[in-house]
Amino acid sequence: MAYTSPIIVPSGTTFAQFQAGGISGLLERLIAANFPGTAAPGAPTLSATGGGTSGGNLAAGTYYIKVTETNGIGETTASPEVSVAIASGNIPQVTFAALQAGNAARNVYVGTASGAEVLYASGITAGTFNLSAAIPTSSYAVPVPTVNTTGLTSTNAAGGVVANQKLTALRACEKGRLQSVWNNLVRLVSQFNRGEPVTYSDVVIKLRDAHTVFALLAQLCAEAGALIDANPGRLVNVTTGIGGQRPARRWP
């Protein structure tokens, strides 16, 4: 397994838009820019012995595979299902379709029955992947996603509740409640480290929600800094209504 950090798409905000909307306007443009990607990647191709004819840990039989893609914010829905029959010890190899624009890695789901795949590997950046390990135990037991969660305006199902936790957390920051996002992250990690019965998928989804919020705020600051740096303006004296003057910033 490999964790994929969120990829934040720049907002494309101009200086005129920045002046008109301020930091909240910039945030809204960032949210709009980070919409879900394409719902499902193309079908992979399979070779029963592409990774070798011996040394594999899958039992003889037919295996069913689906692939999703991730941009670190969330995960797409799955590719069409493909299957392969192998002998004991064979190492089947998956060859992926090209990554969709904006996505960084792939997740592979494997099962012994059609429609019963569970998460087998995540964060795959190479064009091929060998299925050499046994199917993971129930510690992962993550089913194939049915909702595209790659955008800030999409929902997730962490904790069994369908809600847009990423967007909710961003709205909380905008209203001065950034501490609550941090508190939730501390609570999540504490529960995990204490051995609380929090499922693997819930931990990763909630961690990614918090990571996305902080990554987007970092992008927001970077864009604001770049706009200010490129448009410093100049300080001038302007006349007040009572015949005096005061300093003000003006742009050409």
**pLDDT tens track for 27-71:** 999 999 998 777 789 999 999 999 999 999 999 999 999 999 999
Average pLDDT, the chain: 91
The label of the residue with tokens 């909630």 reads: 206
Residues 90 and 116 placed together within one structural domain of the fold:
yes
Residue 160 in this model has a pLDDT that exceeds 60: no
Beta strands in the chain (DSSP E): 45-47, 61-70, 82-86, 93-95, 105-111, 118-124, 128-130, 234-239, 245-250
Q: 74 versus 94: which is more confidently predicted?
A: 94
- pLDDT score of 156: 52
Domain boundary among 98, 130, 162: 130
Is residue 203 in some structural domain? Answer: yes
HSE of 28, CA atoms in CB hemisphere, 13 A: 8
245-250 and 45-47 beta bridge pairing: unpaired
Instruction: Supply 125's token pair.
Output: 């950046």
Give the span between the Cα atoms of 94 and 108, in whole angstroms.
9
Residues 55 and 179 placed together within one structural domain of the fold:
no
Domain boundary among 130, 160, 188: 130
Is residue 141 in some structural domain? Answer: no
Residue 213 in this model has a pLDDT that exceeds 70: yes
Residue 161 in this model has a pLDDT that exceeds 50: no
What's the pTM? 0.87
Query: Is the torsion defined by CA of 80, 81, 86, 91 positive or negative?
Result: positive
- pLDDT score of 231: 96
pLDDT above 90 coverage of the chain, percent? 69
pLDDT band with cut points at 50, 70 and 90 for residue 154: low
Query: 50 with 66: CB under 8 angstroms?
Result: no
Is residue 104 in some structural domain? Answer: yes
If phi > 0 it is left, if psi is from -120 to 50 it is alpha, else beta; for residue 115 that is left
Is residue 85 in some structural domain? Answer: yes
Residues 168 and 98 placed together within one structural domain of the fold:
no
Is residue 137 in some structural domain? Answer: no
- pLDDT score of 197: 87
Nearest-5° angle of CA 228, CA 234, CA 236?
Answer: 140
Quote the domain boundaries for residue 168: 23-35+151-230
- pLDDT score of 108: 97
Cβ neighbours for 68, distance < 8 A, ≥ 6 positions apart: 40, 41, 75, 76, 77, 78, 79, 106, 107, 109, 144, 145
Tally of domains within the chain: 2
Instruction: Supply 94's token pair.
Output: 């998956």
pLDDT band with cut points at 50, 70 and 90 for residue 23: very high
Residue 139 in this model has a pLDDT that exceeds 80: no
- pLDDT score of 165: 80
Is residue 209 in some structural domain? Answer: yes
Residue 252 in this model has a pLDDT that exceeds 50: yes
Is residue 146 in some structural domain? Answer: no
Reference 216, options 57, 3, 30, 79; nearest CA is 30
Is residue 167 in some structural domain? Answer: yes
Residue 20 in this model has a pLDDT that exceeds 50: yes
pLDDT band with cut points at 50, 70 and 90 for residue 17: very high
